[in-house]
Structure 1
C-alpha cells in the first residue's frame, strides 16, 4: 500500500493562510473565550462585539457567564438551555451593553415557533390566594403578569414565579405590560391609572384625567404603541369620558382625543372605549366600546388619526353588537364576536368605507343533505351557520370551565385562564430549549 506524504499534500507555505488569523480570543473578567470574527460580526456594526473582532485589545470587564450565553446566541441564533438559570432582566441588560438586544428579542419572539393547530398544554402556573385571574399581560420577552384579586403575580420567560405584589385595587380590570418589571394597571371602580414597579411593589406614578366635573376618573382600557401610552378614562359620575395619550417614556400628556360630555339622553356619547389597540401598519388607534340598555346592547368601533385627533372611520352596531372585538395588523382586518348570534365576523381594513359591512366567517349557505344548515335559537331557526366552539389541542387537554382570558407571548406560548380557577394554563406548539 503506497504511503501518503503529509508534507506533499499541503500547499506551499507562501500560499497558506493560517487558520489562527480568523480566531479571536476575548478576556471577559479573567475568563478566556475563543470564537471567530464572522461570529462576532453577526452582532451588527454598532455592537461592541463587532468592534472586538477588529480590535487588538480584547478585554471586557463584564459577567463571563452572561457573555457565554450571548455568545451562544450569536453562534446558533437561539439561547442555550442553560439560559433558563438566569433572570431575563439580567440578560436584557447585558444585551443592551453589547447592543444586541434585538437579537435576544427575535430569538424569543419567532412566530414560526407557534403552530395554532398543534397546541398542547405544557404547564399550569398556580396562583396564591382564592381569587381567579381577572386579566393577564405579556411582554415581547415572554414575561407574564397576572392580576388576581388585589394582587399581581409575575413570571419570567422560563415561567418561574418572580414576584407577587399587593396593589391598592380591589380587582384589576385593565393591565398592560410596559416592561418585564413595570406594568400599567387600572380598574373601573378605582380612580386613576397606576404605573407599578412589579419587583419592588410600589406605585411609580399615578395618571389622572382632569374632567370638567372635577370628579374622580376610572380606567376603562389601556393600550400602547412604541412611543405612546393610551388610557380610556370615564368620570366617576359616568357623564364624561376621554382617551388620553401619554409619552410612554416620560408619561407626560401628549394629547387628548374622543372627549365626550354627556347631556340628557345622548346614549351614544356615553360609551367609553373599553378596548384600545394600536395598528402600527396604519398609524391608527382602534377604540371600541359597548353599552347595555333596555333596548339592547349598542356599541361603536372607531379608528383614530393621532396627528389630527380625528376619526377616520367609524361603525355603530345595534343589531348584533360585539361581545368581543379585536384587530389584526398582519391580516388587515377587524374581527368581532356577535353578542346575539355568537358568530365571528370581520371587516377588511383595506376596503373600509361608508358602506362597509360585516362578513361572517361561517359558510352562510352550507347545504347538508339537501337542506340549508341552521341552528335553533329562541325565536326561530337562524338562517345561517353559527360559529360554535372548536376543539383545540389533544384530547387529554380539552374541556374545563369557560375561558376568561387569552394572551400570547414568548414566541410559542399561549396563556389561558378559566372561570373559577386559581391558575394560568400555558399552551405550546412545541417545547423549545431556550
Structure 2
C-alpha cells in the first residue's frame, strides 16, 4: 500500500490527492482506495444519499480523492451501489466486517436494504441456517418481526431483540411473568400483552422502558387482559378480556396520535352459558383489500372445539361476515390479502382448508387442500398446529415439520372452488421433525421459527441468500 502524505482530513481515512486531476467536464469519477484506482459515475455515487462520505467526493472536482481503506471491501460496497445486491465475492468475507465498512462510508442503510429485501425471500429454498440462543431457562412464548428482518423474542419476563444482521441488541426485563402477544410497531417499539396480566404495554426495547400502558374499562371494573394484537397502517387493534372472564372487546387505537382510543367494537357481556359471547378474539388480522378486521377465537367444551371468525367494519362497528366453526374448528387461522383467501388448520383433521375472499360473504364452506376424508375422523390431529401467510405462500407448522402450500395457476376458476394448491415439505432431511412448532414469523428475507421446550429461535433462509 503506498504511503499517504499531503492531506487535509475530511473524514477518518479520507483525503484529496492534489497532484492527480479529474476531468472537470466528465461524468466519470476516479477514486483512490488504498492505492487502487476505481472509476464510477456521479449518478452511482449519488445513490449513496446526501449524508454519506461519498458526498465529499464532489467537493473537489479537479482532484482524485484518496481513501485509506481496504480496496476489496470498497469494491463490494461499490457493487451494492451499482446493483442493489451483494456480489458473490462477498461470501469470502465476514458479514460483520462488511457491515462495519458500510457504516464507515455511511451507506449501511443501503446495505440493510440489499441484505433484507423481502423480494429476496425464496420460499422453496428455505433452510435452517442460524440458531439464535436465548439467555436463561425460559422458552420463547411470542415473537415480533419487522420488515427489515430484525426480531424481538419474548421469553419468560424478558424481551430479547436482534437486529437485521441477527446481532443481539438488548434484553429488557418487563413486568409480565410471561408475554402471550407481541407485535412490532417499529424497529425499537413493540406492543406486548399477556392473558394473565392487566393492560397492553407499549415498550421501547432499546431504552428499556414502558412508553405507555393501555387498559380497557370493563363493566365489572376488573383487570383487562390482552388476548390478541393486530395492526394496520393507521390503527392498533387489541382484544381485551375482563379479569373475571365475563366480558370482552376489541379496542382500536390511533398509532399516529399517541395511541388515542378511536373506537370500540365487538363488545360482549356474558350472561349464563352463552358460549359464543364468551369467546374472546385470540387472533386479529387487518385485510387491506376489503378494509375489514378479521377476528377469530375458539373454545374447547364438552361437545368439542367450537369457534367463530368475524369480519368487522371498524367504521360502523358492525360484523359484515361471520363463519361459525363446529365440525372441524380451526386450530389456527390466517388470512392472505395476496391470495384473497382465509386459511385454517382443522383441529380434528389437521388438514389445511380455505375460503375464497373473492366471493366475500357469499359462502362459508371450506375447500380442503388435502385429504378431506380426514375431517370426519374426530381425532385432534391438528391440535397445536400453526398457520401463517407470507406473500403468496401459506406456511403450516404441523407438529415438528413445516409445510409450504403454493397456488398453481390453472386459468380461471369458478366460485373460487377450482383453485389448485400444492404442498412442499421445507428443509433438508436433518431439519425435519423435532419439537412442535409454536411460532412462525417473517421479516426481510428470513423466516423465524420457535419450538416447544427449546430455548432458541431458528432462522430459515434461502441457501442462495445467506448474506
Alignment check: 8 A CA contact 1:404 1:418 kept? yes
Deviation at 1:400, TM superposition (A): 1.4
Give 1:267 deviation, angstroms: 1.6
Partner in structure 2 of residue 155 of structure 1? 162
Counterpart of 2:261? 253
Bigger CA drift: 107-116 or 164-173?
107-116
Q: Distance in 2 between matches of 1:208 and 1:183?
A: 16
Instruction: Quickly say closer, same or farther: Cα 1:109–1:214, change in 2 above 3 A.
Output: same
| CA-atom RMSD in angstroms | 3.5
CA offsets per residue over residues 383-409 of structure 1, 9 Å max, x none? xxxx97654211122221111111111
Alignment match, 2:150 = 143
Partner of 2:238: 231
1:398 is aligned, of 432, 452, 458, to: 432
- Secondary structure, aligned partner of 2:159: strand
Contact 1:227/1:248 (CA < 8 Å) preserved in 2? yes
Q: Residue 325 of structure 1 aligns with which residue?
A: 333
Would you say 1:417 and 2:450 are equivalent positions? yes
Q: Is the 8 A contact 1:119 1:394 kept in 2?
A: no
Pick aligned residue for 2:359 from 345, 351, 355 = 351
Specify the SS of the correspondent of 2:277: helix
2:41 match: 36
Give the Cα separation in 2 of the matches to 1:111 and 1:416.
17
1:432 shift after superposition: 3.0
Distance in 2 between residues matched to 1:109 and 1:291, nearest whole Å: 39
In structure 1, distance between residues paired with 2:427 and 2:115: 22
Describe the shift of the 1:432–1:271 C-alpha distance in structure 2 as closer, same or farther (beyond 3 A): same
Conservation of the 8 A alpha-carbon contact between 1:105 and 1:140:
no
1:297 alignment counterpart: 305
* Structure 1 partner of 2:7: none
Contact (CA 8 Å) 1:117, 1:393: kept in 2 or not?
Answer: no
Q: Which residue of 2 aligns with 1:167?
A: 174
Secondary structure at 1:159 match in 2: coil
* Counterpart-to-counterpart distance in 2, 1:78 and 1:235: 50
**TM superposition shift of 1:219:** 0.3
Q: How many angstroms apart in 2 are the aligned matches of 1:70 and 1:251?
A: 40
Q: Deviations over 1:117-144 (max 9, x none)?
A: 3222111111111111111110011111
Q: Secondary structure at the match of 1:21?
A: coil
Which residues in structure 2 correspond to 1:333-344 (within 5 Å)? 333-344=341-352
- TM-score w.r.t. length of structure 2: 0.71
1:276 matched residue in structure 2? 284
What corresponds to 1:107 in structure 2?
114
Deviations 1:14-65 (A, max 9, x none): xxxx785314699xxxxxx985233256579xx789xx79x9899xxxxx99
Q: Deviations over 1:246-271 (max 9, x none)?
A: 11132111221111122222221111
- TM-score, reference length from structure 1: 0.77
Q: CA deviation at 1:337?
A: 0.7
In the superposition, relative to structure 1, how do residues 301 and 378 fare at CA in structure 2: closer, same or farther (>3 Å)?
Answer: closer
Do the aligned partners of 2:117 and 2:148 also contact (CA within 8 Å) in 1? no
Q: Residue 411 of structure 2 aligns with which residue? A: none
The equivalent of 1:132 in structure 2 is: 139
Residue pair 2:235, 2:255 contacting (<8 A) in 1 also: yes
Matched residue of 1:304: which SS?
A: strand
Tell me, which stretches of 5 or more residues in structure 1 are unaligned?
1-17, 27-32, 59-63, 365-372, 380-386
Deviation at 1:282, TM superposition (A): 2.5
Give 2:275's match in structure 1, choosing from 255, 260, 267. Answer: 267
